[in-house]
Chain A
Amino acid sequence: MTTSSPAPDLSWIKKLTRPEDLAAYRNTLIAEQQPDATRILVCCGTGCKALGALDLLAAMKQAVADAHLDVKVAPLVKRTGCHSFCSRGPLLTIQPQDIFYQKLKPSDAAEIVQETIIGGKIVPRFLYKPIGSKQPIEKRSEIPFFAAQTRVVLERVGVVDPFDIRDSIVHGAYSALVKVLTQMSPKEVIEEMKISKLRGRGGAGFPAGLKWESCARQKGRHYVICNGDEGDPGAFMDASTMEGDPHAVLEGMAIAAYSMGSDRGFIYVRMEYPLAVQTLANAIRQAEDLGLLGQNILGTGFNFKVSVSTGAGAFVCGESSALMSSLEGKVGRPRPKYIRSTEKGFRDSPSNLNNVETYANVPKIILNGGAWYASMGTERSAGTKVFSLTGNVNNVGLIEVPMGTSLRHIVYDIGGGIPNKKELKAVQTGGPSGGCIPIPKKFLDINVGFGKLAEIGSIMGSGGMIVMDENTCMVEVSRYFIHFLVEESCGQCTPCREGLTQMERILTRITRGEGEEGDIELLEEIGTFTNSFSLCGLGTSSANPVLSTIRYFREEYEAHIRDKKCPAGVCKALYHLEIQPEVCTGCGVCKKRCPAKAITGEKKEPHLIHQELCIKCMECYRNCKFDAIAIR
């Protein structure tokens, strides 16, 4: 999937040849750009782009041009990465007034320019209203979704134009790199990282400072690699970071390279993220042209060249050794862990692999100090964490909170609760390696962090957080993840390859109403075995979705097996839909929506579903305003 390229004009570039040039250049830019002048920040992240944000951006530019404003700054309209409140897109923020307009159409552009930019008046129609409230909120910082967050990694995401390095420099990019190049020895950098207690954000949570130290100790050419594979389906934190603030990732990698004497880096991005690839490639080119990456950086003699590689659609390539072998142009099969990548990784050389978010934290740690970072979060899980909050929750988007924040705070205060008055059932974390946490029962006040989530049978993972309501079938969710893993297992070791296949077979049977007594115990046995004896992390966590759902939702498995019922109304063979005549108002919405023409009925008369035609797409169920359709 390609994206149109905003061809950059690079005529302004003049190489910076001394470390002190950066601050001077920044001051010139600040003077030119007048940060307190009005700016319109249009979100062009992947989510908003899918909703037509590029048309909105063009319309805003046109409206500004048509208004013949006496513009003091150029550009007045700026494209940015994800503003993080994706379920409200297409959207924009007007700075410095901090006005947040959402759910916009290109045709709204002229009104925004006339009323707000020229007239200085708010257009209430475009403002956000919290669910269940009539009071619109003007300022972005006062919207609960934003107010309840602590943004470190995401500070510049949605604020800067990711295609113009100057904007990032104005907002402080590369000043941490200057600091390490001029004031810190490689050892001191690693020391600061250790003090920060930053643990890798890719899932395993290994302390970054220790990894850097053990890699730096090795002899030979060192490689610095960034894991932008983000395989967890339903997570987009790393995508948004790469798309919204590419220079934070690049600067973090450059600092890592300096600390371990490396001159070469790679970013491995999954191919489903064309916008991230394009943004990073452009950012690298601009940083090289300015002398902030590449040969002889800022005249200090430090060299660091970075390139972007794309994956080819294999989840297992997110695993470190598989990723490195994929970078070498080969198939990505994990290898045993006793060979450490920090000793013999990419090209059999010492290689340091970290996740996108891990690197993006580094400049902040260097500038503010490791102790500052460690002061956030909890004792064992320091700092903040970005989650992508999706599923059955009102506010879908990216959130960044200190480690140790409770699920209640995340789902209700930030997420705004569950839509359509449904009950919260579970939160899934950690993707296919994670588990489902049953919320209402016990764990609403659990604090997210590496240790806590593992204790209750899930993992923190890289930050995917999927909220599930009462209409989610836990057996089906576990079948879904196991099916995913069957497709993605590299197949080289038997417990993973065969164990997953068998688990999928059993789960499929159960969801079809063909489950048998003993299936649950068999699943537990196979799952425990697969988790114990597989080679890589894919296999050793693969049964978590099954084991955690059996642990907490055993009665749901039993309902499928014994009663041949799917209580949530998901497993198609085990339920049907019925319109309750006493509730149905005959509004006709369901009839209009039904793609299978399975519903008949006269206006104002109770409607009827013809079971033999119904494909159970749930369109009618979701859209009936009167709750007249029942799962039976």
Chain B
Amino acid sequence: MSEPNTCCEEPEIDFVFLDRIIQEEFGGRKEAMIMMMQTIQRHYRYLPEAAMIYLSHSIGVPLTKIYEVATFYASFSLVPKGKHILHICTGTACHLRGSGGMVQHVAQKLGIEPGKTTADMKLTLETVNCLGACAMAPVAVLDEQYHPQATVGLINELLDPILAE
């Protein structure tokens, strides 16, 4: 398996790896396309163009259809994500406990909109509609580590070491 690329240039695409996902894991079925794309995205942190072209040929779905799906669903990204990903939940329970303010604060601090990545590719800021941990609202997740009852102060403590890296 090739190392997932985390920086800006097109990563090296490992076609053996793609074949394993498309054919072995999902039996080359068109219906499993969304899940194939999810697996590819988990590996490369986004959907590289070359991989989508290969997917299109492998399962016989036109590239335009693949892009339609990639742009319809919020979880897909056509541009590379940062080395770290901060998710802030903006579900209703979290919103009522101030997650909107946290998003604004981080966006201002980093100078990026939610959904975008810092220019140095260190951090992507994402919002998510509920993680099912509403009792712990507001919830922030940094690189899959949950931070219940998060505050602006806590987020600063989490981000500062990353930004100083």
Binding site for B on A (CB under 8 A): 1-2, 46-47, 49-51, 86-87, 89, 230-236, 239-240, 271-273, 276, 309-315, 326-332, 388, 390-392, 396-397, 428, 431, 464, 466, 468, 472, 477, 480-481, 484, 487, 490, 593, 595, 615-619
CA distance A329 to B68 in the complex (A): 11
Q: Are B74 and A314 neighbours in the complex by a CB distance under 8 Å?
A: yes
A50-B35 contact given A1-B141, A314-B72, CB 8 Å threshold: no
Q: Are B69 and A234 neighbours in the complex by a CB distance under 8 Å?
A: no
| Contact residue among B100, B135, B148 (Cβ-Cβ distance under 8 Å from A397) | B135
Q: Tell me the smallest distance from the CB of A36 to a CB of chain B, in Å.
A: 32
B153 proximal to A (CB < 8 A): yes
Q: Are B92 and A233 neighbours in the complex by a CB distance under 8 Å?
A: yes
A50-B139, A332-B72, A391-B96 known; 18 new pairs, CB 8 Å cut-off, are A2-B144, A50-B131, A50-B148, A233-B91, A233-B95, A233-B130, A235-B130, A240-B132, A312-B76, A313-B74, A315-B129, A390-B134, A391-B92, A396-B135, A595-B151, A615-B101, A615-B104, A616-B101
| Contact residue among B38, B92, B134, B147 (Cβ-Cβ distance under 8 Å from A271) | B38
Chain A residues within 8 Å of B32, by CB:
329
**Max chain A C-beta neighbours (<10 A), residue from B101, B104, B134, B156:** B134
CA distance A466 to B137 in the complex (A): 12
Q: Are A480 and B134 neighbours in the complex by a CB distance under 8 Å?
A: no
Closest to B147 in A: A50
Q: Are A619 and B153 neighbours in the complex by a CB distance under 8 Å?
A: yes
Offer 18 A-B interface pairs, CB within 8 angstroms, sorted by A: A47-B135, A47-B136, A50-B136, A231-B129, A233-B90, A236-B133, A272-B132, A276-B132, A310-B35, A312-B74, A313-B76, A327-B31, A331-B72, A390-B135, A391-B92, A396-B135, A466-B93, A477-B96
Binding site for A on B (CB under 8 A): 29-35, 37-38, 61, 65, 68-69, 72-76, 90-96, 98, 100-102, 104-105, 128-137, 139, 141, 144, 146-148, 151-153, 156
A-B CB pair tally, cutoff 8 Å: 154
Q: Are A310 and B129 neighbours in the complex by a CB distance under 8 Å?
A: no
Chain B residues within 8 Å of A235, by CB:
130, 134
Chain A residues within 8 Å of B137, by CB:
390
Nearest 7 interchain pairs by C-beta:
A86-B135, A234-B92, A233-B91, A312-B73, A313-B74, A313-B75, A50-B146
Chain B residues within 8 Å of A272, by CB:
128-132
A51-B136 contact given A231-B129, A310-B38, A618-B101, CB 8 Å threshold: yes
Chain B residues within 8 Å of A480, by CB:
92, 95, 100
Q: Tell me the smallest distance from the CB of B108 to a CB of chain A, in Å.
A: 8
Q: Are B148 and A1 neighbours in the complex by a CB distance under 8 Å?
A: no
Q: Tell me the smallest distance from the CB of A89 to a CB of chain B, in Å.
A: 7
Q: Are A619 and B74 neighbours in the complex by a CB distance under 8 Å?
A: no
Chain A residues within 8 Å of B134, by CB:
47, 86, 234-236, 388, 390, 396
